[in-house]
Amino acid sequence: MSKKYKQFQQGIYKPVNATKYVGVSLPKYRSSYELKFFRWCDNNANVVKWGSESISIPYMSPVDNRVHHYYPDNIVQIREGDIVKNYIIEIKPSKQVAPPQVKNRKSQQRVLFEQVQYAVNTAKWEAAHQWCIKAGFTFLLLTEQELKI
């Protein structure tokens, strides 16, 4: 697999409990955070089924005002007591879930890139949240703090 972001751990995950994984092909992790979450889903007895980038949610990009498609990192069905809940999970480093900080050492190009990326991500997350309300899911944004990395 070619590495899109060379600074992050990437690869293909082979589920141990393959019957729980719903997907056409094996899941690809793009960070150690995603790999940890894949392992948690695969090995947690309360996870009924899970998938990776298996649904498409349309969103309006604030960059070009056109509709694009967002593929959330994971879809997970979890048994919580006597009920089963459905979640859409996005996994990001904590520095990417808050508005970017303008610091003296950053170039203007870097600051602009981070601002655009944050605006696009915010539009994706809002679209996912609205999709979840209509579909009876819960949207969760997980960082290394929630994943305990």
DSSP per residue over 110-122, as a string?
A: HHHHHHHHHHHHH
> Which one of 1.10.15, 3.40.50, 3.40.1350, 1.25.10 gives the CATH number of domain 11-147?
3.40.1350
pLDDT in tens, 20-72: 999 999 999 999 999 999 999 999 999 999 999 999 999 999 999 999 999 99
DSSP strand E in 1-149: where? 11-12, 28-29, 47-52, 57-60, 67-70, 74-80, 83-91, 138-142
With 70 as the cut, is the pLDDT of residue 75 above it? yes
Q: Sorting pLDDT into bands at 50, 70 and 90, what band is 9?
A: confident
Confidence of residue 148 (pLDDT cuts 50, 70, 90): confident
Can you give the residue ranges of every domain in the chain? Answer: 11-147
